[in-house]
Structure 1
């Protein structure tokens, strides 16, 4: 498979991510379990976005030295488009994460630790899926058409169900856990296992982590094929994915309190998947320029946000007063 990822670039990227995670864990360890305020989440979001843009600038400079301005500009635009796409699609993860936390009444001070572990799992999972996907595309070009068709179907389903809330109680994984594992009655701090009634049992935090992993698998199945519409280079696909996932925890706390205000985002994300699916299906007839694709994605997400603000969701109290 063709890639710009030289051994030096892979080493630099790995070192970049490891240092960022070490700093993040160190800061989290010093602060301890605590309620994350909007201001703190905003600054962490700015920090992760700045790191992604700094990495993209370094990637552009590297390619400028190696291959000239034309290739450098294309690579930087592909990374930026992939990053924006994955960042946008991760918003849907956040709303489902919030549903999981509320369903299990996870204390606010434990949510940060759960999300941090979820981020590590998501990075490992997506790395495997990306390399498998890139290998399949490199060997079987028609796989791109399957990806495009899958995204079309997924986008239509998401559009039709955008106004309905996921039903966690019908989740097969959750039903299996409750039927086969002994779960403690309450949380035991940050422990995943504890002794209760004289025997070892899993805590609700363990169940939450499993469900977060399942949610990420489901959404990764959508987002990984989507980014292959932007670029087939596994280095750009993986790096843009990882940087989007790294900022997931901060973005969660930034948006968690405003989930009801962005009730039209589901429609916007569904339209993004439909657009990406069409882009993949017509790629051999007409290749939509990366700059235009980035503009369309930004327009769809921005329009969904604007629509949410212009036409707020009807509250339950308002509905009750009319009946």
Structure 2
């Protein structure tokens, strides 16, 4: 049975997201280095908001919808760890000062919300009119999961990014940062700063990651409201997660195997949807189990190690 979501519920969710983004922007209106304690506090706020909305879904639409939302939220939150590692590499490649990194991530998340909303809408239309797309998504997730398990290193090549190449053809890019500005005027001409270049790199990278995460959530539920909200509330905490975890990414060596297992599971769930509908509680149990084992094994392996992920410092 599909959820009956009134228009004002959609408006309320979008309103909450915009208000929280405005609060975050106001709190970080001055460029500064986001420390561990600040990142931890904001991470707590975003996680509480995401889980709190899950409670609302549970109370209003029932435990089945609540379980679907939570499973989707956990998948997106876990896949976001890969984003954190890539963002660290991008910031290192462009030598972005630490006090400017939050500004890039803020607008990156804002763009990600818009693009993912469009992808979710397109995915919902495809699944509604072309049932065979379900099997295409499932096969793609199986392939992605196997590929993730077999490849340990994440490679980033911003110099090969076609969007960045197009930017450089359209407008000159300065060789130094100009504070928090994305565009400046040099010699009477409008020019882009490296901050705009790294923002475009972050945005296009997130679009690539969305190709994995959105089909994965559709494997849990085909309710567009739940797909969007679980995705949105998980993404909202991406900035704080970056500042919280970027320096400790070396401690998550086995997480990719847990993520790979989750993707393989949800891919198989999609392929078997017309044969056997895996219960929501079982999906949630498998997802939590895979991620819990992977994180626990990673912590045990690296409990006596120290070090930083390359590309975090300015």
TM exceeding 0.5: yes
Structure 2 residue 126 is matched with structure 1 residue 128: no
> How far apart in 2 are the matches of 1:82 and 1:175?
35
Displacement, 1:177?
A: 4.2
Alpha-carbon distance in 2 for matches of 1:164, 1:12: 38
Q: Is 1:263 equivalent to 2:253 in the alignment?
A: yes
**2-structure distance, mates of 1:167, 1:263:** 22
Aligned residues between the structures:
306
- The structural deviation recorded for 1:297 is 1.4
- Report what 1:45 is aligned to: 43
- After TM superposition, give the deviation of residue 164 of structure 1 in Å: 4.8
Change (3 A) 1:174 1:265: farther
3-state SS of paired residue (2:185)? strand
CA offset digits 1:175-213 (Å, max 9, x no partner): 444566421111001111123355332110011010111
Q: Distance in 2 between matches of 1:58 and 1:2?
A: 17
Q: Which residue is 1:33 aligned to? A: 31
Cα separation, 2, equivalents of 1:140 and 1:57: 33
Q: Aligned in 2, Cα 1:312/1:181: closer, same or farther, shift over 3 Å? A: farther
The answer (yes or no) to whether the contact 2:161–2:201 under 8 Å persists in 1 is no
Structure 2 equivalent of residue 57 of structure 1: 55
**1:162, distance to aligned residue in structure 2 (A):** 2.1
1:195 counterpart SS class: strand
Matches within 5 A, 1:1-323: 2-29=2-29, 32-63=30-61, 72-178=62-168, 181-197=171-187, 199-312=189-302
Structure 1 gaps, min length 5 = 64-71, 317-323
Please say if residues 4 and 233 of structure 1, whose CA atoms lie closer than 8 Å, have aligned partners that are also in contact.
no
Provide the C-alpha distance between the structure 2 equivalents of 1:101 and 1:220, rounded to a whole number of angstroms. Answer: 20
Report how far residue 225 of structure 1 moved. 0.5
Bigger shift: residues 228-237 or 174-183: 174-183
Cα distance in 1 for partners of 2:251, 2:168 equals 33
* Conserved 8 A contact 1:3-1:234: no
Cα RMSD, aligned residues only: 2.1
Distance 1:116 1:164 in 2: 23
Q: Is contact 1:41-1:251 (8 Å) kept?
A: yes
Q: TM-score if structure 2 supplies the norm length?
A: 0.91
- Larger of the two Rg values belongs to structure: 1
Distance 1:164 1:20, change over 3 A: closer
Contact 1:4 1:235 in 2 (8 A): no
1:32-83 Cα distance to aligned partner (Å, 9 max, x none): 11111111111111111111122222222323xxxxxxxx111111111111
